[in-house]
Amino acid sequence: MDLKTAVSKLEGGENWVKWKKQVTLFLRHYNVMGVVNGLKTAPPALTSDASEAQRTEYERKLAEYKKDDSFAQLIIFGTLKALAQC
């Protein structure tokens, strides 16, 4: 699905409702809505006595969160009118 053809650029108040619905659907489709609404957060920091297995799992979860966060930002930023991106 191509974001550029599926989602209108946000023009301000005049198309806010339509834009929000379209972006929400994209975020849900790509399973990154939780990052936007705060239901998915970065993993909590490890303590200094964390095991190697805990560190490995933490790094995996952190990388996954960062990937999802970046993708959600790309979806949103890519649908803003050029003036709003500055």
**pLDDT tens digits, residue range 4-39?**
567 889 988 899 999 999 999 999 999 999 999 999
Instruction: Report yes or no on 10 lying in a domain.
Output: no
What is the span of the domain harbouring residue 27?
Answer: 15-41+49-78
Instruction: Report yes or no on 72 lying in a domain.
Output: yes
Higher pLDDT, 51 or 5: 51
Instruction: Report yes or no on 60 lying in a domain.
Output: yes
Instruction: Report yes or no on 7 lying in a domain.
Output: no
Instruction: Report yes or no on 2 lying in a domain.
Output: no
Tally of domains in the chain: 1
Type of residue numbered 74? L
Percentage, residues of the chain above pLDDT 90: 74
Distance (Å, whole) CA 27 – CA 57: 25
pTM score, whole prediction: 0.83
Provide CB contacts within 8 A for 75, sequence distance 6+: 3, 23, 26, 27, 30, 32
Could you tell me the CA-to-CA distances from 48 to 40, 51, 52, 60 in Å, in that order? 24, 9, 11, 18
